[in-house]
């Protein structure tokens, strides 16, 4: 083989090695994305458990109030107002949670676009 042919063969081998390195980098990026998705699923499961615990605490507080006879001196109107205020607070919390979720998704898609 001539020197020219050897040089061409060597260049082709180098290009093939570079393509392989790029494929490996892409596989690594995909593995990292999968790990991030798994971490997000884990965080979501934890948030779900926390919401369940909070609902249970709220039910316990409700049972406690019922055992105490609903406060006795408090009128039905005042109890109703307090319940509506608690419901508004829960709704605000749910809205904040949805907003955090939107931010996380937006951040995740920003990260995907940069890659």
What does the pLDDT look like over 8-41, one tens digit per residue? Answer: 999 999 999 999 999 999 999 999 999 999 999 9
Are the C-beta atoms of residues 36 and 109 closer than 8 Å to each other?
Answer: no
Give the predicted TM-score (pTM) of the model.
0.45
Task: Give the range with max mean pLDDT: 22-26, 73-77, 87-91.
Answer: 22-26
């Amino acid at each position: 083989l001539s020197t020219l042919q050897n040089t061409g063969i060597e260049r082709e081998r180098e290009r093939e090695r570079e393509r392989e390195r790029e494929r490996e980098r892409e596989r690594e990026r995909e593995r990292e994305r999968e790990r991030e998705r798994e971490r997000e699923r884990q965080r979501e499961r934890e948030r779900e458990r926390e919401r369940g615990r909070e609902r249970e605490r709220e039910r316990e507080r409700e049972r406690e109030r019922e055992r105490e006879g609903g406060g006795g001196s408090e009128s039905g109107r005042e109890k109703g107002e307090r319940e509506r205020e608690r419901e508004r607070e829960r709704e605000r919390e749910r809205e904040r949670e949805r907003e955090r979720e939107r931010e996380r998704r937006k951040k995740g898609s920003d990260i995907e676009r940069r890659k």
